[in-house]
Structure 1
């Protein structure tokens, strides 16, 4: 049972009127001299303002906090740094000092096709170390600039106390803009302790500043923090529970649906009626519930970047009946239709951009982008246009939109009519306006699933994701690298909201124009190894089936159908379970046998994937997995696939799995005895 511990002292970090120009965050005297006048309300010493700390308790003991600065004085205030939360006094208890090999830092790198890359190291290796007798100006700093909020890091830091066997967690729920997490030391010589800054309001990060007139106030984005007994897994479990409570969208029936999307390792945004009909037939046979036509369904002159944004159906591509006819074909096969959009982007040659140049995003008076620009969601014309697109798609029968976001705005934007408004602050206004329109559409159409995709997961901070039904995990195309991405991202997001590409019969993007189905292509996957590996990945999140499954033989189609049946049978468990990492996390470059599970304490079940991420070479392999930290004795309920060479047995808490060769995978259902 996970036990939540008392968290460090929660205060605030504020810098006013450029009075502090330190390059590090530890203390500046403002919080230290403030007076508490009510619960969560602190008055600044000089009477210039007040700080209000709004806290919300979440399941499992985590805390959600926002910080509000109120100008109670009679002159304007200029703030250049304001924490969403500032936690102090970490390491003040215990026998060992913070720098005495006591703490471990856990954080996740993120990149296009390389999301969820966790690293585990000492604070010193991460950049925080004691110097001598003065304040250490070193720190562990995670940060992001622009609207790809997770292009470099995920906004989450875990700090494991190996002496007291507990782990602190700190996360910024920024909502798709820049943010900063900084782990520092405060104090002199042997009296120093650790502190953590969480926030999106920091001039040193992206130029953010704020001017408040007398009587005005400003509230930060939320921060999420807490402390749990145990290590990495226990912290991830607590965060998973907290984020489920914070999610604004409820999946259909409370469980992840089974989707087919025609993009990845399949049509690569070149759909036609002739290509789609066989894929629909195969997806329906497997048991898909949604069929999503990715990019390529909307009218263009040939330059997507310049033409996108009007979202008019390209009927000529789809024969008699046009796009509506294709959507009707999907419905006729018992699936719900979906399409791809990128609502925040607009081509400079689109009708909307030509009619509304004032509704684009600008920086320094110039349109941001060249052919492919951005709509300004603070503008009523933009909101009306995009709402109209969703209204029209809904009337056409579309019930799923994959909303992509393939470029970042950058450091800041202009505000029409308010040239002095800070660019980073204005970018936050725009980002909040995007999410508010998503909320409006989801409220109007409760059965309309909107997916967040941003070149994979380049905007996957939970402050943004909580407004959507799910988050695409990656644009990773290699099925052997997929397990690293999806397991790492599932430590950041609830696993039932992590969209996982499962692509049997993959066709690389290099061949998207030249590919033609053939008996030779089908025969290349006859043993089912690639199909099983992909389906096992899909079973561990929200499955996006793709690949040229229209080329599959009967044997492989049956393997897909078996996995789909397992997926539907166990998805209530997936929606309750927490991620477990019996062998730690997996690097993208890892070529090893790797176990990862979804543990549901309520039912006593463990859904375990075991992948070999090495290149296949015909060599059988066997691995043993220690499950004793979850329960002392286990039984095996099911193994997928039920094929020669795939076996599993358990003795007490030791699971032995055999795979027919490297590059294979298996899925094992276990129960606690």
Structure 2
């Protein structure tokens, strides 16, 4: 056994007498870990065409511990270290000339690791692989000498359209992951997503909690297309394996030609004797490490997006009216959303792909509109859904450049898809998107994506590999936008949050958190997502209506303080009193944005069993690294007056408050106490020491 210290974590490598290598992690200060129980469970899971499945009814369910996996044995381990990082490369080989490198990267000061696998074909014949893990963590839990009955819990985050990031937790027993009496029969809980919207059903996240030991192992996969995670049990130990969706789950099959190699997506992993919120925060360290220099901000911008004002009917006239209202109110970006390219007959919803400015909406073009936005003190942004072609676009007939499956153009709803691998498509989109941004002076692009390719496409060894290649080409085009448009900020959107995975998130400056534009569940979704994405990137709708009571306006704006605040709605029709509350809220947001950008959040209140029928309350305290804190409290359906108490760290006092119509707010006995008389009200409190 080898133990390698990585900050406050230890990486554990257990080498069996046969040379099989298992990988695990424990907190650096943990005592009592036991590694002698159970059978070897290799650190890389790989399977090829013609491979044998594991004994115990695994075929069609999992490739875990396949014949190929069990053929790889230990060769060497290299540890390289600099002032900034430590990297561990463990090499394995099989008798048929295949070589694996399991790579662990630790950036000093980080509380999470980056792990990936690289496979080399050193033989003289091609080989087709059908499964390959980014990471396989075994030996859970080493703090029990048996199968740890009643103490292991699997944490996941579910997702649906307009309901992203719902935390779910299941006992290992409820998932039927207990080993059998004979230690025979593979137990496997497999979940993931197929297609080009990777957050459709689940986030690529898993955590296992040993409730008795107080230790949690957590991981998230940077998977921009089809992915899978497996919780597998064959004996006393539980293992968690993640990677590209395999052949059975995602129709992924890839030829590794003789002399060539292939690297998996990265998986981010951590372990700690801390609670679930703090373990999730540890995983965000990798996203922080990957921030660009200009993204390491102390203050967050204030956005205005006209979509929930015009509902797809932007025009120079409408924008002039909006600018007359919001100019001088502190907005940093003005985003022109969908519809600027609308056909005068067919409309805007299904003619994406041609990208011609609607001359009836913008008779003077968009460059003059951008100048007006700039003259009003804001940077101008524009919406694109660049990967698709709508059914009403002229480009819909350009079938040689569209994705196909079995020779037929892929149609999802009303959309077709460009083959992003083609040079012609890259050149076309460079002209239509990149040149357009530069020619008109835009400094912000909202890139949306509103349907999925599905299981995959033609043009590669398998549907799944075709899909992976297309999405990787999309990612490269995002990178090209950043390179070739000076000062551009990129928002990643996919019908709200369908691309909120690390691979796409790291390409973005901002992220559309959800399409729940003006719903009461916004604070719940936004708060849940703080466990998965950096709040500084999470752009949250705050849609204001002329019919909103003042407390509802405070409710909406306070919800936006779980990330980067984006205002929209009936700005022409808000009353003087409504604008006063709005302006107070946006000024308060700017004051507290350093806490939102750099801090750690603690959540309080009952778990909401329904996002659509919220009960009682939700509260949070975000402790900033500037010595201040932001408390946000939302009340939901309840009867009678309500006093909510929120525990605080010692020494805080109230510095400022954002509210509508007054509340009893005080601190006593190290608790922030706020009185509410009505449902669906909110208060945000700035605390200082």
Alignment TM-score, normalising by the size of structure 1: 0.89
| 1:306 CA drift (Å) | 4.7
Is the helix fraction higher in 1 or 2?
1
How do residues 18-33 of structure 1 correspond to structure 2 at under 5 angstroms? 18-21=50-53, 22=58, 23-24=61-62, 26-28=64-66, 30-33=68-71
Inter-CA distance 161–372: structure 2 relative to 1 (3 Å threshold): same
Equivalent position of 2:685 in the other structure: 668
Deviations 1:457-477 (A, max 9, x none): 111111111111111011113
* Cα displacement (A) at 1:338: 1.2
Whether 2:314 is the aligned partner of 1:310: answer: no
213, 232, 237: which one aligns with 1:184:
232
1:650 to 659, 667, 670: 667
Displacement of 1:136: 4.7
Q: Which residue of 1 aligns with 2:241?
A: 197
Q: Which residue of 2 aligns with 1:512?
A: none
> 1:364-387, CA deviations, whole angstroms, 9 ceiling, x for partnerless residues?
101111752111111111111222
1:225-624 to 2 correspondences below 5 Å: 225-248=269-292, 250-251=294-295, 253=297, 255-264=299-308, 266-300=309-343, 301-304=345-348, 306-319=350-363, 321-348=364-391, 350-354=393-397, 356-369=398-411, 371-388=414-431, 389-415=433-459, 421-505=461-545, 522=546, 524-525=547-548, 527-583=549-605, 586-587=608-609, 588-589=611-612, 590-600=614-624, 602-614=625-637, 619-624=640-645
How far has the Cα of 1:442 moved from its partner? 0.6
* Deviation digits for residues 206-261 of structure 1 (CA, Å, limit 9, x no counterpart): 11111222112111111111102212111121012221112458438554321111
What residue number does 1:509 align with?
none
Aligned partners of 2:525 and 2:602: how far apart in 1?
15
Residue by residue over 1:39-67, the C-alpha shift from the partner in whole angstroms, topping out at 9 and shown as x without a partner, is 23433332330001122114433111111
Determine which of 213, 218, 234 is the counterpart of 1:169: 218
Q: 1:344 to 1:596 in 2, by over 3 A?
A: same
Deviations 1:326-351 (A, max 9, x none): 32322221111111110001135534
Provide the rounded CA distance (Å) in 2 between the counterparts of 1:257 and 1:338: 13
Cα distance in structure 2, aligned partners of 1:83 and 1:248: 28
Q: CA deviation at 1:125?
A: 2.6
Structure 1: stretches of 5+ with no match in the other structure: 506-521
Task: Give unmatched runs, 5+ long, in structure 2.
Answer: 1-5, 13-22, 25-42, 78-88
Following the alignment from structure 1 to structure 2, what is the Cα–Cα distance between the partners of residues 581 and 141? 29
Distance 1:281 1:647, change over 3 A: farther
Q: Deviations over 1:578-625 (max 9, x none)?
A: 23213365452432211023222x32322111011328x8x4422112
Q: Does 1:6 align with 2:10?
A: yes
Displacement of 1:568: 1.7
For residues 278-314 of structure 1, the C-alpha deviation after alignment (integer angstroms, 9 at most, x for no partner) is: 3223332432111111111114241545522121111
**Relative contact order (C-alpha < 8 Å, sep 6+): which is higher?**
1
**Farther-moved stretch of structure 1 (19-28 vs 136-145):** 19-28
Computed over aligned residues only, the root mean square deviation of the Cα atoms, in angstroms, reads 2.3
SS of residue paired to 2:528: helix
Match status 1:115 vs 2:159: no
Distance 1:328 1:347, change over 3 A: same
SS, match of residue 331 in structure 1: helix
CA–CA distance in 1 between the matches of 2:258 and 2:504? 31
CA distance in 1, matches of 2:575, 2:382: 28
Cα displacement (A) at 1:197: 0.6
1 CA distance for matches of 2:422 and 2:602? 44
Offset of residue 31 of structure 1: 4.2
The 3-state SS of whatever aligns with 1:83 is: strand
CA distance in 2, matches of 1:34, 1:580: 44
Alignment-derived partner of residue 85 in structure 2:
none
Deviation at 1:352, TM superposition (A): 4.0
Mapped to 1, the partners of 2:335 and 2:293 lie a distance apart of: 20
Do the aligned partners of residues 45 and 332 (structure 1) sit closer, same or farther apart at CA in structure 2, a change above 3 Å counting?
closer
Q: In the TM superposition, what is the alpha-carbon distance from 1:666 to its structure 2 partner?
A: 0.6
Tell me, yes or no, if the aligned pair for 1:299 and 1:314 is still in contact at 8 Å: yes
SS of corresponding position for 2:583 = helix
Give the SS at the match of 1:316. Answer: coil
**For the residues of structure 1 that align with 2:305 and 2:595, how far apart are their CA atoms?**
24
1:51 equivalent to 2:100? Answer yes
Tell me, yes or no, if the aligned pair for 1:87 and 1:195 is still in contact at 8 Å.
yes
Instruction: Give secondary structure in 1 for the equivalent of 2:218.
Output: strand
Per-residue deviation at 1:141?
Answer: 2.4
1:223 aligns with 2:263: no
| CA shift for structure 1 position 99 | 4.0
Distance in 2 between residues matched to 1:488 and 1:70, nearest whole Å: 40
Answer with 340-349 or 398-407: which moved more: 340-349
Q: Does 1:625 align with 2:675?
A: no
Query: Retained in 1: the 8 A contact 2:52–2:67?
Result: no
Say if 1:3 and 1:229, in contact at 8 Å, map to a contact too. Answer: no
* Aligned partner of residue 410 in structure 1, secondary structure: coil
Whole-angstrom distance in 2 between the partners of 1:53 and 1:584? 42
Structure 1 contact 52–67 (Cα < 8 Å) conserved = yes
Q: State whether residues 530 and 562 of structure 2, in contact with CA within 8 Å, keep that contact through their aligned partners in structure 1.
A: no
Looking at structure 2, the residues matched to 488 and 33 of structure 1 have their Cα atoms a distance apart, in angstroms, of 42
Task: Give the 3-state SS of the residue equivalent to 2:572 in structure 1.
Answer: helix
Which residue of structure 2 aligns with residue 519 of structure 1? none
Task: Give TM-score, length-normalised by structure 2.
Answer: 0.87
Greater mean deviation of Cα atoms: 654-663 or 127-136:
127-136
- Indicate if the aligned counterparts of 1:31 and 1:44 stay in contact, CA closer than 8 A: no
